[in-house]
Amino acid sequence: MSVTKIFFNTRLKIMMVLAAIAGGIIAIRLVDIQVLRHQSYLEMAERNRTQVIYQTAPRGRVFTADGVAVATNAPSFSFYYLGAGNNDPAYLEQLARDFAPQLKMDPKEILSKLQKGVKTGKAILLAENLSTKSTVALQELQLYYPGVYLIEETKRTYPYGGFASHLLGYIGSMDDREWRSRDVRMGYRLNSKIGKNGIEKKFEKELKGSDGGVYLEVDYRGRVKSIIQDKKWAAGSDVYLTLDFKLQQAAEEGLRNSKTGRGAAVALDPRTGAILALASAPAYDPNIFVQYSDEENPKKSKKINEYNLAVQGTYPPASTFKVITAAAALEYGHLNINHKINCPGHYDSGPRVFKCWGTHGPVDLFDGMANSCDVYFYQIAAQTGAAAIERIQRKFMFGRQTGIDLPGEKAGNLYGPTRRARNKTYWFIGDTLNLSIGQGELLVTPLKLAQFAAAIASRGNVYRPYYVDKIVSNQTGKTEILGKTEILQKSDLKPQTYDVLFKALKYTVDHGTAARVRIKGLDVYGKTGTAQNPHGADHGWFMAFAGREGEEPSIALAVFVEYGEGGSSAAGPIARSMLEAYFGIEKPMPAAAMAEEKPEQTGAEFEELLSEEEDGVF
């Protein structure tokens, strides 16, 4: 066989192999297109001949425990011009003039958008977020102007304005950064509204529904030819809170009408840790972020105070802390509850003289607690020791976060000799005396004090606070239970210690500075406090827990009024209104409660004449 023939045969074989490979590649590609990814390519082709006008799905609603919707949805409309409509210039000018008053827009602006729609042949958004009031006239005009189209959507609305605003949060338009970080399968678009804060943000995935849309047929140039389909949206899941509606309202109204309008109020169920109310003042109205575009609204700044004082504000607990001091003295055997200590109006510690807000004479534990006598607690603290008081603080998790699932919670500050020892600094008798009445470096949040009140009410269970009970899907009907009782720590004091504390706090309500919350038919236990403030007026505290007569406590609360000056006068009325709302009691305050109101002052050092009159009440 000649060399030429061999070369020819070899080249022929190579060409046949290459042809076979090419045929195999084509076959594989055909299988990929027609079988493996047929649906994907079909959808791509479909998108190439369709244009979608999306309809935003209603967000899931937010309900209180008693079924009141505090975040819901209202009708909202978007107004489009379809490029396949009448494109006559005179027609467009007339359309712009007639629709301008209803859209509250300049006719020139509308005409510019219409001309853009004509040029591109695509559906053009003329206006969005329109109220129902405007759509009545628009629907009538729509009959005379082919090519215009109203799309019904929804917008977020908060029926009760600033109700639990620091807990609910608010929504806003998605920005570029947020859009890039979102799962595209969730159906987000660049202008989608998403939760920016609070529950709206935390449960964004659950609250967001599945958007619908109007599918338009377009030609190869992208021009609208007809409407193919109107796909219905599916609403998001509903979130059910543990809040009591009337109780939360009472807390917010009380803070709003307080002396300064600044403060916080928190109520817990001492049997579970469920948040019954969580209010921070000043609040804000999240509706300012979702106003209709065609309504004349007062220009409100969208710069709001997102600082949640209930979980982020830290202050000395003042005389409410005397419960800890008493517990330490009882627990470690340094207190005879019947022994009377004389209060001459001051206490001489040796290096310094500390004053009391009044001269109480001989007082035992119950009178000392009821009258918030500083001298009494100075003496039992000096006998008990700061280390014992610090141990009781730790049992109730002072200086630690409550564990609530909210961002930015502050832990406060535990005050005692241990940290001083670690830092190799001294602890003085004056520190012990300040600690005994809740002053000095000791700091708590209103939520922490409410958690402490609930722990006393439950006789030692320190619960993790929670505020969401369940989530219910509007698409499947499935319910996901989130509200779970969790004990973080058991404060294992002697049963006798709790018995005495209950008696002392009840006595304080019945005969002492906490008389403002004495309510017929209820067993109420409470303690007031006024925290010194070097920057201005003192702060007012009120701590309480209560149950129906003869029953275990079902609510524990803490009320704080910033710069309120007196716990009884500033925070007491709010605590009372909260208890009345929770138990469904609507009666005026008895005159006796007002008559028994007693002024008191914090235990500052004795630097002025003992006879000098002091302002403020515990």
Cα end-to-end span (Å), the chain? 120
33, 352, 608, 610 from 613: Cα distances, Å: 92, 20, 10, 8
The answer, yes or no, to whether residue 444 has pLDDT greater than 70, is: yes
Confidence band for 211, pLDDT divided at 50, 70 and 90: confident
Q: What is the pTM of this model?
A: 0.82
Q: Tokens for 389?
A: 């008081």
Most confident of 40-54, 396-410, 576-590: 396-410
Distance CA 152, CA 180 (A): 27
The answer, yes or no, to whether residue 603 has pLDDT greater than 50, is: no
Distance CA 145, CA 87 (A): 11
pLDDT in tens, 360-392: 999 999 999 999 999 999 999 999 999 999 999
Unique residue bearing structure tokens 């999240």: 286
Residue 526 near residue 511, CB atoms below 8 Å: no
249 burial level (CB within 10 Å; 0-12, 13-18, 19+): buried
Taken as a whole, the chain contains a residue count of: 618
Average pLDDT taken over every residue of the chain: 84
Neighbours of 496 (CB within 10 A): 11
Confidence band for 595, pLDDT divided at 50, 70 and 90: very low
The fold adopted by the segment(s) 276-284+311-595 is Beta-lactamase (3.40.710)
Q: Compute the average pLDDT of residues 320-324.
A: 97
Residue 610, pLDDT score: 27
474 burial level (CB within 10 Å; 0-12, 13-18, 19+): middle
Residue 596, pLDDT score: 41
DSSP one-letter string for 452-502: HHHHHHTTSEEEPPB-EEEEE-TTT--EEE-----EEEE----HHHHHHHH
The answer, yes or no, to whether residue 333 has pLDDT greater than 70, is: yes
356 burial level (CB within 10 Å; 0-12, 13-18, 19+): buried
250, 519, 546, 549, 576 from 583: Cα distances, Å: 12, 10, 10, 11, 11
CA 416 to chain centre: 32
Residue 75, pLDDT score: 87
pLDDT in tens, 191-200: 678 899 999 9
Q: Compute the average pLDDT of residues 118-145.
A: 77
Task: Give the pairing type, strands 193-195 and 263-268.
Answer: unpaired
pLDDT in tens, 8-30: 667 766 777 677 777 777 767 66
Distance CA 465, CA 557 (A): 12
Residue 488, pLDDT score: 97
Q: Containing H/E element for 93?
A: helix 89-103
pLDDT in tens, 170-186: 998 877 677 666 665 56
What CATH class is the domain 50-239? Answer: alpha beta
**What percentage of the chain has pLDDT greater than the value 70?**
82
Q: Tokens for 43?
A: 């959808």
Compute the Cα dihedral for 82, 83, 86, 88 and give only its sign. positive
DSSP one-letter string for 502-516: HHHHHHHHHHSTTGG
Output phi, psi for 137, to 5 deg: -70, -35
The answer, yes or no, to whether residue 251 has pLDDT greater than 70, is: yes
Residue 481, pLDDT score: 94
Domain boundaries, the chain: 3-38, 50-239, 276-284+311-595
Confidence band for 215, pLDDT divided at 50, 70 and 90: confident
Torsion of CA 293, 294, 295, 299, to 10 degrees: 50
Residue 610 near residue 355, CB atoms below 8 Å: yes
Closest CA to 24 of 14, 32, 13: 32
